[in-house]
């Protein structure tokens, strides 16, 4: 018997689910070169526009000159450099927690936190729409794994009644495909009533949300008592790369001792940590980025209602346009691309069957004129696709 990979690929193509990688030939920004064309992009997670900021670039260059371009080893051998340590201290202060621990990717941070905290005989409860890394972490932990109805504290409560051993409740802060917010006050209350810990992956919340960009926990005025395990990524609003877990002294030491994705991997390049320190400084000092981003979101939703776009209730830079059928989602994306706009079509299995969408994302560097160009194109193209429903 041999693997028949061609049949699997053909099946995916036939279902309009085949994925292809656009070739980016320029830095991140509103205007990009993709596959040889200049396009106006509305599909990046660089929410604050820091990925190509001159000061961030300069910080990375200076960091590379001083620290080299490789981490060299794991943090526990000889890979934990001065910039890594300084960034962890800065992230702890940013989140208002005693400690933070740096990871190379968000996927690794989520795998590390869940698998280090629960195992066989314990329970992990997750939102049905959590990111794949959170769901994978729950399955790999060996704990009893269950998914509650999306953003439903009552559904969570029923599963908490049946929980065994140490219990970890896990949710995204901002759900990456819908842009809606976790109902953290209700979810945290349900968890605390049963003595469970709450873990929040706020990958898409840090930067856009909160009075100072502190994310969904700041947005709701919650603290370490309600959310003992807080995860954030640095490749989105921070504009660099990597991730972190923030929490108590005991939590971070537990991860250092028991989290296999932390122990058995080389640290990120120190120069990346230098760049992230500058990004964090800019996030604090340049509030106009978050303010402009919020104005773009408000303006988009107002005009989208006028042209009858099918949106999700999202207050974040993630503004999905629900299409339903994968083939029609691809068609709408292609129509926009013909007009010089890049907006990706998101299809199953990333989203549930029948909920294909265009995932519009905004950046603080988008201008009002660029937003109007997107809306004018959608007003022209949406009836061509919606009429096929």
Residues with catalytic annotation? 176, 204, 236
Number of H helices, E strands in the chain: 14, 13
Would the CA dihedral through 217, 223, 228, 230 be positive or negative? positive
Q: Parallel, antiparallel, or unpaired: how do β-strands 123-127 and 144-148 relate?
A: parallel
Contact status, residue 300 vs residue 367, Cβ threshold 8 Å: no
Instruction: Please enumerate in sequence order all residues whose Cβ is within 8 A of that of 183, keeping only pairs 6 or more positions apart, or say none.
Output: 151, 153
Token look-up 């560097």 returns 365
Q: Rounded to 5 degrees, what are φ and ψ at 120?
A: -55, 135
Q: Give the orientation angle of helix 249-258 with respect to helix 106-117, to 10 degrees.
A: 100
304 by DSSP, 3-state: which? helix
Please confirm whether the linkage preceding 349 is cis (ω < 30° from 0): yes
For the chain, the farthest-separated pair of C-alpha atoms sits apart, in whole angstroms, at 61
Reference 254, options 117, 107, 76, 119; nearest CA is 117
Reference 289, options 375, 207, 173; nearest CA is 207
Buried (b) or exposed (e) across 47-81, using 16+ Cβ within 10 A? bbbbbebeebbebbeebbeebeeebeeebeeebbb
Would the CA dihedral through 121, 122, 125, 130 be positive or negative? negative
Alpha carbons 293 and 49: distance in angstroms, whole number:
10
């Amino acid at each position: 018997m041999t693997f028949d990979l061609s049949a699997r690929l053909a099946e995916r193509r036939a279902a309009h689910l085949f994925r292809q990688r656009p070739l980016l030939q320029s830095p991140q920004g509103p205007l990009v070169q993709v596959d040889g064309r200049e396009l106006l992009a509305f599909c990046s997670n660089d929410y604050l526009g820091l990925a190509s900021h001159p000061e961030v670039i300069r910080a990375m260059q200076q960091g590379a000159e001083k620290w080299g371009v490789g981490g060299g080893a794991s943090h526990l051998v000889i890979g934990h450099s001065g910039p890594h340590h300084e960034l962890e201290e800065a992230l702890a202060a940013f989140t208002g927690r005693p400690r933070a621990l740096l990871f190379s990717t968000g996927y690794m941070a989520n795998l590390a936190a869940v698998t280090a905290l629960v195992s066989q005989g314990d329970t992990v409860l997750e939102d049905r729409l959590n990111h794949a890394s959170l769901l994978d972490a729950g399955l790999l932990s060996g704990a009893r794994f269950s998914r509650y109805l999306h953003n439903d504290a009552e559904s969570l409560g029923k599963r908490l009644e049946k929980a065994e051993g140490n219990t970890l409740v896990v949710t995204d802060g901002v759900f990456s495909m819908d842009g809606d917010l976790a109902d953290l006050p209700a979810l945290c209350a349900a968890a605390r009533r049963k003595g469970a810990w709450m873990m929040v992956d706020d990958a898409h919340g840090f930067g856009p949300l909160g009075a100072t960009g502190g994310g969904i926990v700041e947005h709701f005025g919650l603290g370490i008592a309600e959310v003992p395990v807080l995860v954030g990524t640095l490749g989105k609003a921070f504009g660099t790369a990597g991730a972190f877990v923030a929490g108590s002294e005991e939590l971070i030491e537990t991860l250092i001792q028991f989290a296999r994705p932390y122990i058995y991997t080389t640290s990120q390049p120190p120069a990346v940590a230098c760049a992230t320190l500058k990004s964090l400084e800019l996030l604090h000092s340049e509030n106009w980025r978050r303010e402009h981003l919020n104005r773009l979101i408000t303006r988009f939703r107002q005009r989208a209602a006028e042209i009858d776009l099918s949106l999700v209730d999202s207050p974040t830079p993630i503004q999905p346009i629900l299409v339903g059928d994968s083939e029609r989602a691809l068609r709408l994306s292609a129509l926009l691309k013909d007009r010089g706009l890049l907006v990706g079509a998101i299809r199953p299995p990333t989203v549930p069957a029948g909920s294909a969408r265009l995932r519009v994302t905004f950046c603080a560097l988008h201008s009002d004129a660029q937003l109007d160009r997107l809306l004018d194109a959608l007003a022209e193209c949406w009836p061509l696709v919606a009429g096929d429903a």
